[in-house]
Structure 1
Amino acid sequence: MKEIIGTLKPYVPEEPAESVKQRLGVERLVRLSANENPYGTSSKVREAVIEYVANHDANLYPDGNASSLRTVLAKYWNVAEDQLVIGVGLDEVISMVNKTFITPGNSIVISVPTFSEYALNGLIEGATIREVECIPETGQYDFAAMRRAVDDTTRLVWICNPNNPTGTYESVEDIRAFIKTLPSTVLVIIDEAYIDFVTSCDVPTARQLLDEFPNVFIMRTFSKAYGLANYRVGYMMSSPELANYIQTIRLPYNLNTLSQVAAEAAFKDQEFLQSTIQNNAAERDRWEQLLDELGATYYKSGANFIFMSVPNADNLADLWLSKGYQVRRGQRPNWLRVTLPTAEDGVVMRELLREYMKNL
């Protein structure tokens, strides 16, 4: 066993919803701890999957190249098909990036707090993780400090945009300026899992940076705005050369056919996507207005969640849970990450928050 494995803690999945409901004595549990889409999934996805299952057996392996989905994505993003790496969620893509480019002695630079998989997969491959604290007042990336953390050993720099868990969005201009300061040997991975939810600018994606820098990767997922968390589909765009390196270690037939069918149907239903984005933005505004009114601490979010802090935050989380609303704890002491609920659930949760703050 690798020595580092003995020092890591295994991922502990959340308690099943039925178990939580039974333990708490609630009829309904709304899970707002995993940044899932509360508006469900496009009906066109269900139709496409049912049609496929009705007309095909499961005895054959899937298309190992995800050819149809690959063609659709390449056309939309105006990239060559060999610039795409498609994986079982972004978790697999993150793992492949580290397996391909990290050797013992390399270092990885990340802003913290951020998605834990970046550091975990780097540690497994023998990297040193250099953590750079975000700007405390705003939650934004401290790009100047991140640049100082880069040296001759640095192989990867991760930028989660919007960042999980802070929800903060970094402009393409700021990211571009940062990349220009880096050696070309440093690979910059921009994780845009939540980018669809950004409404503060017309073109939030850093897609254009692919054409400007050969050391840039951009990752996207179907798990969030498209509502396909259960189907596990993520993909990455890079130069053909870098993508080919990763493809050499991709497991054959990694993405099953149902996931490919679901992702393609979801991608074509832009009406569902836009509805999700609009509903999320409206709910985000309502939450931020109340947090401002109450004087609570939070970071301005561009995502489908809000990272917030109130006195004795665990008590607030317990109150919400007792009413059937589960939020994420443990990412920073006394902070909670709240996936934005539907408008109806938002009314209930905000009233509970208002009463909680009143009774402090």
Structure 2
Amino acid sequence: MRVSKNIEELIPYQPGKPIKEVERELGVKECIKLASNENPFGTSPKALQAVTALLSNANRYPEGGCFYLKQKLAKYLGVAENSLVFGNGSNEIIELLIRTFVQPGEEVLYFDPSFAVYPIIAKAADRDFRGVPLRKDTFEMNPDDLLAAIQPQTKVIFLTTPNNPVGNYIPRADLEKIILGTPQHIIIAVDEAYIEYATEPECQSVIDLVATHENVIVLRTFSKAYGLSGYRIGYSVSSPQVADYLNRVRQPFNVNLLAQTAAEAALDDDEFLAVTLNGNSAGMNCITNHLRELGISWVPSQANFILIDARGNGADVFQGLLREGVIVRHIPHPMIRDYIRVTIGTAAENKTFLTKFEQVLRTLGRL
């Protein structure tokens, strides 16, 4: 079968291994999954209640533009309703941006390593892409490096803060420097998938800058802090003009009825959000305190995961943990191949991970 070269060469995104698959393949029981940055505290009870009440209406199409959710979210964020676009996860918004604004011969620019989906979607669309390396050893996303990398063919820039898979962030002042230093015809997409978890004062959202910078668009998701990964719903905040263009490309009914309903209810569940953020903070402290005792280094994180030094090839630690029923993530990027990325779990999951991690390191002679 003949396909275009870009599709022939495309390496698909590899999600974290599912629990049942690991238990089946390796014959282990009671696995825990700390690989995909999911919310370990479950789903908003209010969202579950709202979805359950709506199940009998699943024979009807959903609102094509998420009308009721759009009203509530616009009020919640303090933005105009026509600045919002919803997608099947924020992944779909990324695809819409590239399909809408990047023409043949133009390119996508991003810090590297960052969210793996940016280059994958660009390649699938047969568009050019280029990564700006993080600063070696510090993993800093330096604004001067990014601005110097902009070329005439650059059309969309993705800035991920907090950054996945590293966990660090771009300070507000550096974000403003990039925005002010970037030509106005270039779209700057600030991916804030993990912004709810941020505690550092300089790790801030730039939603407020959308009103004064027409080329800035902010991406958000309900998958992480709101615990709606399985429903697949994300959104963008942009100028009305950018939103209008994205909606022209967006497929009708792209966000299903249950996802819209769950997201709308989750916005009212302050109690669940507080449980999530407090639990994440406690879990982060638990893990980093133990790593400090072991003399293991890590990258300070503003997200719900942490990048941990594996003291050698991280793939070996990943496989060792897998055999112990602990699913984490190893990313074979040259800059972080000696690390593993671990999602913050429940108190019990964190304890299990730390026990098994220490055990695996000792087995490998790294501790």
SS in 2 for 1:277: helix
Q: Which residue of 1 aligns with 2:46?
A: 44
Q: Does 1:153 find its partner at 2:157?
A: no
Q: What letter corresponds to residue 355 of structure 2 in structure 1?
A: E
Deviation at 1:240, TM superposition (A): 0.3
Structure 2 unaligned regions, length at least 5: none
Q: Do the aligned partners of residues 315 and 124 (structure 1) sit closer, same or farther apart at CA in structure 2, a change above 3 Å counting? A: closer
CA distance in 1, matches of 2:119, 2:87: 19
Structure 2 residue aligned with 1:315: 316
State how many pairs are aligned. 358
1:132 aligns with 2:132: yes
| Corresponding residue for residue 92 of structure 1 | 92
Cα distance in 1 between the residues matched to 2:114 and 2:87: 21
The answer to whether residue 351 in structure 2 is matched with residue 340 in structure 1 is: no
- Give the 5 Å matches for 1:1-360: 1-54=3-56, 56=57, 58-201=58-201, 204-312=204-312, 313-332=314-333, 333-358=337-362, 359-360=365-366
Measure, in 1, the Cα distance between the counterparts of 2:268 and 2:167: 26
In terms of mean alpha carbon deviation, does 71-80 or 206-215 score higher?
206-215
**Secondary structure of the equivalent of 2:211?**
helix
TM-score (norm 2): 0.93
Q: TM-score when scaled to structure 1? A: 0.94
Q: Deviations over 1:108-164 (max 9, x none)?
A: 211111111111222233332121111222222121111111021111111011000
What is the percentage of aligned positions where both structures have the same residue?
Answer: 35
In structure 1, the gaps of 5 or more residues are none
Q: Alpha carbons of 1:202 and 1:27: their partners in 2 closer, same or farther (altered >3 Å)?
A: same
The whole-number CA distance in structure 2 between the counterparts of 1:39 and 1:140 is: 30
In 1, distance between residues paired with 2:51 and 2:76? 22
Moved more, 199-208 or 227-236: 199-208
Deviation, structure 1 residue 213? 1.4
Q: CA offset at residue 188 of structure 1?
A: 0.4
**Secondary structure, counterpart of 1:223 in structure 2:** coil
Cα pair 1:200 1:302 within 8 Å, conserved: yes
How far has the Cα of 1:60 moved from its partner? 2.1
Between the aligned partners of 1:297 and 1:112, the Cα distance in structure 2 is 21
Kept in 2: contact 1:106–1:126 (CA 8 A): no
Partner amino acid, structure 2, of 1:344: A
Amino acid at match of 1:334: D
**Matches of 1:331 and 1:270 in 2, distance apart?**
38
| Worse overlay, 5-14 or 333-342 | 5-14
Change (3 A) 1:53 1:356: closer
Which amino acid in 1 is paired with 2:7?
I
Does the Cα contact within 8 Å between 1:102 and 1:126 map onto a contact in 2? no
8 Å contact from structure 2 (residues 11, 120) kept in 1: no
Taking structure 1 as reference, are residues 12 and 135 closer, same or farther at Cα in structure 2, changes over 3 Å only?
A: closer
